[in-house]
Amino acid sequence: MQSSDSLGNLGILVAIAGGALRGSIPYIYVSLGECLTEKSGRINLGMEGILLMGAMTAFAVSDQSGSPWLGLLAAAFVGGLFGLLLAGITELPGVNDVAAGIAMIIFGSGLAFFFGKQFVAPMAPQLPVIDFGQGIANAGVHAALRISPLFVLGIAVAFLMHFAFERTRWGLHLRAVGDAPDAARSMGIAVRRHRVVATTIGAALAGIGGSHLTLYFPGIWSEGISGGQGLMAVALVIFARWSPLRCLAASLLFGGAQALGPSLQSAGISGFYHVFNASPYLLTLVLMVLSCSRTRRLDGIPGSLARRG
Amino acid sequence: MPKPITRRAFGALCGAAPLAAAGTADPLSIGFVYNGPKNDLGYNQAHAEGKQSLKSLPWVRAFDEANVPETVAVEESMRNMVYQDHAKIVFATSYGFLDPFVLRVARECRNTQFFHCGGSYRDGGDPPNVGIYFGFIDEVEYLAGMTAGLMTRTGRMGFIAAKPIPQVLRNINSFMLGARSVNPNVTMRVVFTGDWVLPVREAEASSSLADQGVDVLTGHTGSPRVIVQVAERRGIYATGYQFNQSVLAPHGFLTGAEWAWGVVYRKYAEMVRAGKSVVDGSIPRRMTGTLKDEFCRLSPFGPAVTAEKRDAVAQAKRRLLDGSQAIYRGPLRDNTGKTVVPAGRTIGIEETALDQMNWLVEGIQGDVRS
Amino acid sequence: MTSEQNFEGVAIPVIAIGTALLLFSLFCAGVGASPGGVLASIYTAGFGSWYAWQNSLLRAAPLMLCGLATALPAQAGVITVGNEGAFVVGGLAAAAAGLATTSGPPLLCLAAMFLAGAVVGGAWIMLAAGLQYYRGVNAVISSLLLNYIGIALLLQLVEGPMRDPDSLNFPATFPLPLSHQLGRIPGTRIHYGLVFGVVACLLGWFLLERTVWGMKLKIAGGNARAAKLVGLPLGRIVLTAGFLGGACAGLAGMVEVAAIHGRASQAISAGYGYVGILVAFLSRQSPLRILVVSLILGAVLASGGSLQRTHDLPDATINVFEGLAFLSILASEALAGRLGFLTALFKPVSTEVADAKL
Mean pLDDT in chain A? 87
Condensed to tens digits (0 to 9), the pLDDT of residues C113-127 reads 999 999 999 999 999
Site from B43, B209, B211, B221 to mutate, A interface, most A CB atoms within 10 angstroms:
B211
- Set of chain A residues whose Cβ sits within 8 Å of the Cβ of C333: 92-95
Is the predicted pLDDT of residue C43 greater than 90, yes or no? yes
Packing angle of the helix pair C193-210, C212-222 (nearest 10 deg): 80
Mean pLDDT in chain B? 91
Q: Does C315 touch chain A (CB under 8 A)?
A: yes
How many beta carbons lie within 10 A of that of residue C123, not counting itself? 19
Which domains are delineated in chain C? 34-312 (1.10.3470)
Residue B20: give the domain boundaries: 3-135+274-289
* CATH number of the domain encompassing residue B190: 3.40.50.2300
With CB atoms and an 8 Å threshold, state whether A274 touches C152.
Answer: yes
Q: What is the mean pLDDT of residues C220-247?
A: 91
Q: How far apart are CA B182 and CA A114, in angstroms?
A: 46
Closest CA to B364 of B337, B327, B324: B337
Is the predicted pLDDT of residue A271 greater than 80, yes or no? no
The CA distances from residue C264 to A145, C58, C170, in Å, are 44, 19, 11
With CB atoms and an 8 Å threshold, state whether A292 touches C136.
Answer: yes
With CB atoms and an 8 Å threshold, state whether B370 touches A271.
Answer: yes
Q: How far apart are CA B249 and CA A220, in angstroms?
A: 13
- pLDDT score of A261: 75
- Set of chain B residues whose Cβ sits within 8 Å of the Cβ of A265: 189-192, 205, 366
Cα nearest neighbour of C48 on chain B: B84
Q: What is the 3-state secondary structure (H, E, C) of B121-149?
A: CCCCCCCCCEEEEEECCHHHHHHHHHHHH
Which of 328-367 (B) contact A at CB < 8 A? 365-367
Condensed to tens digits (0 to 9), the pLDDT of residues B67-92 reads 999 999 999 999 999 999 999 999 99
- pLDDT score of C353: 39
Count Cα neighbours of A209 within 13 Å in the Cβ-side half-sphere. 35
Which domains are delineated in chain A? 10-308 (1.10.3470)
- How are the residues of chain C apportioned to helix, strand and coil, as percentages rounded to the nearest 5? 75, 0, 25
Contact present, C273 and C62 (Cβ < 8 Å): no
With respect to residue B334, please indicate whether it lies within any of the assigned structural domains. Answer: yes
- pLDDT score of A296: 58
Count Cα neighbours of B185 within 13 Å in the Cβ-side half-sphere. 7
Same domain, B89 and B192: no
Q: How far apart are CA A240 and CA A253, in angstroms?
A: 11
Cα nearest neighbour of C156 on chain B: B370
Q: What is the 3-state secondary structure (H, E, C) of C272-301?
A: HHHHHHHHHHHCCCCHHHHHHHHHHHHHHH
Closest CA to C56 of A122, B79, B191: B79
Is the predicted pLDDT of residue C350 greater than 60, yes or no? no
Q: How far apart are CA C249 and CA C119, in angstroms?
A: 10
Contact present, C141 and A238 (Cβ < 8 Å): yes
- Set of chain C residues whose Cβ sits within 8 Å of the Cβ of B77: 305
Closest CA to B359 of B176, B102, B169, B94: B169
Cα nearest neighbour of B31 on chain C: C309
With CB atoms and an 8 Å threshold, state whether A281 touches C357.
Answer: no
Contact present, C143 and C80 (Cβ < 8 Å): yes
Same domain, B147 and B85: no
Residue of B156, B208, B370 with shortest CB distance to A263: B208
Closest CA to B76 of A264, A288, C55: C55
- Set of chain C residues whose Cβ sits within 8 Å of the Cβ of B70: 267, 270
With respect to residue B305, please indicate whether it lies within any of the assigned structural domains. Answer: yes
Q: How far apart are CA A217 and CA A25, in angstroms?
A: 9
Count Cα neighbours of C63 within 13 Å in the Cβ-side half-sphere. 28
pLDDT bracket for residue C335 (50, 70, 90): confident
**If residue A141 lies in a helix (H) or strand (E), which one and from where to where?**
helix A139-144
Question: What does residue C341 show for φ and ψ, rounded to 5 degrees?
Answer: -65, -20
With CB atoms and an 8 Å threshold, state whether A284 touches C145.
Answer: yes
Q: How far apart are CA C343 and CA A39, in angstroms?
A: 41
Contact present, B255 and B144 (Cβ < 8 Å): yes
With CB atoms and an 8 Å threshold, state whether A274 touches C136.
Answer: no
Same domain, B337 and B254: yes
Q: What is the ipTM of this complex?
A: 0.89
Q: How far apart are CA A67 and CA B225, in angstroms?
A: 23
Packing angle of the helix pair C35-47, C3-30 (nearest 10 deg): 120
Same domain, B252 and B282: no
Site from B71, B163, B367 to mutate, C interface, most C CB atoms within 10 angstroms:
B71
With respect to residue B323, please indicate whether it lies within any of the assigned structural domains. Answer: yes
Structurally, chain B folds into a number of domains equal to 2
Q: How far apart are CA B262 and CA B131, in angstroms?
A: 17
Closest CA to A163 of A32, A46, A71: A32
Residue B254 Cα to chain centre, angstroms: 20
Same domain, B55 and B171: no
Contact present, A89 and C330 (Cβ < 8 Å): yes
Same domain, B86 and B42: yes
With CB atoms and an 8 Å threshold, state whether B65 touches C315.
Answer: yes
Q: Does B209 touch chain A (CB under 8 A)?
A: yes
Contact present, C178 and C109 (Cβ < 8 Å): no
Burial classification of residue B39, based on how many CB atoms lie within 10 Å of its CB (0-12 exposed, 13-18 middle, 19 or more buried) = buried
Contact present, B349 and B329 (Cβ < 8 Å): no
With CB atoms and an 8 Å threshold, state whether B213 touches A18.
Answer: no
- Set of chain C residues whose Cβ sits within 8 Å of the Cβ of A101: none
With CB atoms and an 8 Å threshold, state whether A285 touches C146.
Answer: yes
Cα nearest neighbour of A262 on chain B: B205
Same domain, B109 and B151: no
Is the predicted pLDDT of residue B18 greater than 60, yes or no? no
- pLDDT score of A26: 95
With respect to residue B264, please indicate whether it lies within any of the assigned structural domains. Answer: no
Q: How far apart are CA B161 and CA B172, in angstroms?
A: 8
Is the predicted pLDDT of residue B298 greater than 90, yes or no? yes
Q: Does C265 touch chain B (CB under 8 A)?
A: yes
Same domain, B283 and B341: no
With respect to residue B266, please indicate whether it lies within any of the assigned structural domains. Answer: no
Q: B347 by DSSP, 3-state: which?
A: strand
- Set of chain A residues whose Cβ sits within 8 Å of the Cβ of C281: 96, 98-99, 102
Same domain, B186 and B244: yes
Condensed to tens digits (0 to 9), the pLDDT of residues A77-97 reads 999 999 999 999 999 988 888
Site from B41, B152, B168, B200 to mutate, A interface, most A CB atoms within 10 angstroms:
B200
Q: How far apart are CA C197 and CA B148, in angstroms?
A: 55
Q: How far apart are CA B186 and CA B179, in angstroms?
A: 7
Q: Does B185 touch chain C (CB under 8 A)?
A: no
Same domain, B248 and B326: yes
Contacts of C223 (CB under 8 A, 6+ apart): none
Same domain, B164 and B36: no
Cα nearest neighbour of B368 on chain A: A271
Spatial strand order of the sheet with B296-298 comes to B296-298, B253-259, B237-242, B216-220, B156-161, B187-192, B364-365
Contacts of C102 (CB under 8 A, 6+ apart): C109, C176, C177, C180
Angle value at C-alpha B332, between B327 and B334, nearest 5 degrees:
115
Is the predicted pLDDT of residue A260 greater than 90, yes or no? no
Condensed to tens digits (0 to 9), the pLDDT of residues B205-239 reads 998 898 888 999 999 999 999 999 999 988 999 99
- pLDDT score of A132: 84
The CA distances from residue A267 to A141, A270, B56, B335, C205, in Å, are 15, 9, 49, 16, 56
pLDDT bracket for residue B12 (50, 70, 90): very low
With CB atoms and an 8 Å threshold, state whether B156 touches A143.
Answer: no
**If residue C29 lies in a helix (H) or strand (E), which one and from where to where?**
helix C3-30
Taking the CA atoms of residue B115, residue B117, residue B123 and residue B129 in that order, the dihedral angle to the nearest 10 degrees is -10
- pLDDT score of C316: 93
Q: How many CB pairs under 8 A join A and B?
A: 143
Is the predicted pLDDT of residue A188 greater than 80, yes or no? yes
Q: Return the partners of chain A (3 or more C-beta pairs < 8 Å).
A: B, C
With respect to residue B332, please indicate whether it lies within any of the assigned structural domains. Answer: yes
Same domain, B95 and B235: no
Is the predicted pLDDT of residue B307 greater than 70, yes or no? yes
Q: What is the mean pLDDT of residues C320-328?
A: 93
Closest CA to C268 of C58, C88, C56, C115: C88
